[in-house]
Structure 1
Amino acid sequence: MTAWLIAAAAVLAAVVVLIAFWAYQTAHRLDRLHVRYDLSWEALDGALGRRAVVARAVAADAYAGAPQGRRLTALALAAERAPRNAREAAENELSAALALVDPAKLPTALVAELADAEARVLLARRFHNDAVRDTLALRERTPVRLLRLGGTAALPTYFEIAETSSRDTEPVKPRTSARVVLLDENGAVLLLCGSDPAAGNGAAPRWWFTVGGAVEPGETLAQAAARELAEETGLRVDAEALIGPVWRRDAVFDFNGAVMHSQEMFFVYRTARFEPTATGHTALERRYIHGHRWCDGTAIAELAAAGEAVYPRQLGELLDQANALADAPAPRAAGPTLQIR
């Protein structure tokens, strides 16, 4: 009996040592990832700051005191001084203003300097978001969360601004969209898989998103959401049955060769799980929608850990709220929409 107890204790001690070694290695790796994240943000902040300096030079040279020049200067200063939680919006406004500048009004050297500044922002942002993705992939693993190996460090956040590659870019015009968080009886959400059709070579990154699209003239938000639901999945529901809008997301991104500024309003609806049909897809949707998947919170976390973007970014953590809203007894009082990313 004593020998058995000694053997069991030895095995237990070995397991504890292995767990402690793994935890130490993982914590050390997390520390390196957070250092990389901090350095990537410093590099991005520096690149954005340099672009703001160049933008003021462009304002002085291209507009020479005209109102457009004063506005561009003000936007550059606002972008430099914006707090982190408002930086994306400020930088996107600056991007839109810079896109309106006619390069013919600038010296060749200044055009080259502006192009270089924008290229540096593009590279720094991608490097930063890669660091965010890698850090979150490890931080959000269940053992890491349970053992609190991330310590008290805040979760890193992506930095999403439109990437412009041409001085001929049209001004970014807001487009209102209605989207549906479509839930099944088990609380999973239907996500569509898509990619940018402008890439055209089959190598474009793929991302996951909720059902929805642009509001057409004369439609209410709920009517647009119900129409998009029918077109993209085949499911027909009354607009009045949709709950919301409950969330709002403002996003600027490149799509199909253009810069899109999408103001997205989210509704919630629950249905029995079904197999969506693509018969109502437009020609463009057939080009960029590649499939679908019903995802619970775990599946969403797995997609993110694998480096696949899920929009909205907070969907996984807000899924419980969406299910609670779907289960709330009628009538449902309209409340303020939650701003998400």
Structure 2
Amino acid sequence: MIEDEAPHGWRRAARVLPVDSEGRVLLLHGWDPHRPEQPFWFTIGGGAEPDESLAQAAARELREEVGAVVDPADLGEPVGELRHQFSWAGKTLWQHEVYFAWAAAHFTADFDGMDRAEQNSIDQARWWSPDELAADGSGTSPNLTATMRKAIAAVTRR
């Protein structure tokens, strides 16, 4: 996509993939409020506030969505990015996403920090290997398993 395609500019977003010692990635399960019959697995994250760096936004989203606390500096350099258009709750969004990997001890997600919209559209979290998710076929996009593999490789190299 080119910059001119986004009528109101690109929404800056940060996403983070926690990777455990077994090479699994923590993903969230949810749905678009306008299409609850089509649930999918997706990465933790969301829009950055105007005064936040993308690493700060990723750390905040990790805390809000699953209760994990990480220093933004510990996220390292991004492992990928994506510009795309999608529909959410009847609105078209133009989003520039940056993906971070985080070497995490296995933990159970805590949804207490989610806002109301998240609580109404996310029902679980699970640790997945890329092969398990590919076999299941319920990832948010075809490139999710490739992004998971990049995150696992980045954490392994650190």
Shift of 1:268: 0.6
> Could you tell me which of 87, 93, 100 is aligned with 1:260?
93
> Could you tell me which of 34, 45, 52 is aligned with 1:198?
34
Distance in 2 (CA, whole Å) between partners of 1:320 and 1:257 is: 31
Task: Give the AA of the match of 1:227.
Answer: R
Alignment of 1:133-172 (within 5 A): 171-172=7-8
Structure 1 match to 2:155? 326
Matched, 1:316 2:149: no
Distance in 1 (CA, whole Å) between partners of 2:76 and 2:133 is: 22
Question: Larger C-alpha radius of gyration, 1 or 2?
Answer: 1
Structure 2 match to 1:238? 71
In structure 2, list runs of 5 or more residues that go unmatched.
Answer: none
SS of 2:21's equivalent in the other structure is: coil
Distance in 2 (CA, whole Å) between partners of 1:172 and 1:303 is: 36
Cα pair 1:184 1:273 within 8 Å, conserved: yes
Structure 1 match to 2:22? 186
Distance in 2 (CA, whole Å) between partners of 1:263 and 1:194 is: 21
Matched, 1:217 2:47: no
Over aligned residues, Cα RMSD in angstroms?
1.9
Q: Give CA-to-partner distance per residue, 1:1-38, whole Å, 9 cap, x none.
A: xxxxxxxxxxxxxxxxxxxxxxxxxxxxxxxxxxxxxx
Matched, 1:250 2:75: no
SS of 1:244's equivalent in the other structure is: coil
CA pair 252-263 structure 1, distance change in 2 beyond 3 A = same
> Could you tell me which of 118, 121, 145 is aligned with 1:288?
121
Alignment of 1:43-62 (within 5 A): none
Cα pair 2:80 2:147 within 8 Å, conserved: no
Structure 2 match to 1:300? 133
More helix by share: 1
Shift of 1:322: 2.0
Cα pair 2:133 2:139 within 8 Å, conserved: no
Cα pair 1:198 1:256 within 8 Å, conserved: yes
Scaled by the length of structure 2, the TM-score of the pair is 0.90
Task: Give the AA of the match of 1:229.
Answer: L
Q: Give CA-to-partner distance per residue, 1:167-217, whole Å, 9 cap, x none.
A: xxxx45410100001111101011111111134xx4x31121111010002
Q: Which has the higher contact order (CA 8 A, sep 6+)?
A: 2
Counting aligned pairs with the same residue, the percent is: 36
Task: Give the AA of the match of 2:49.
Answer: E
Matched, 1:275 2:130: no
Cα pair 1:182 1:268 within 8 Å, conserved: yes
Scaled by the length of structure 1, the TM-score of the pair is 0.43
Across the two proteins, how many residue pairs are aligned to each other? 157
Shift of 1:318: 4.2
Distance in 2 (CA, whole Å) between partners of 1:316 and 1:309 is: 8
Cα pair 2:23 2:129 within 8 Å, conserved: yes
Cα pair 1:243 1:326 within 8 Å, conserved: no
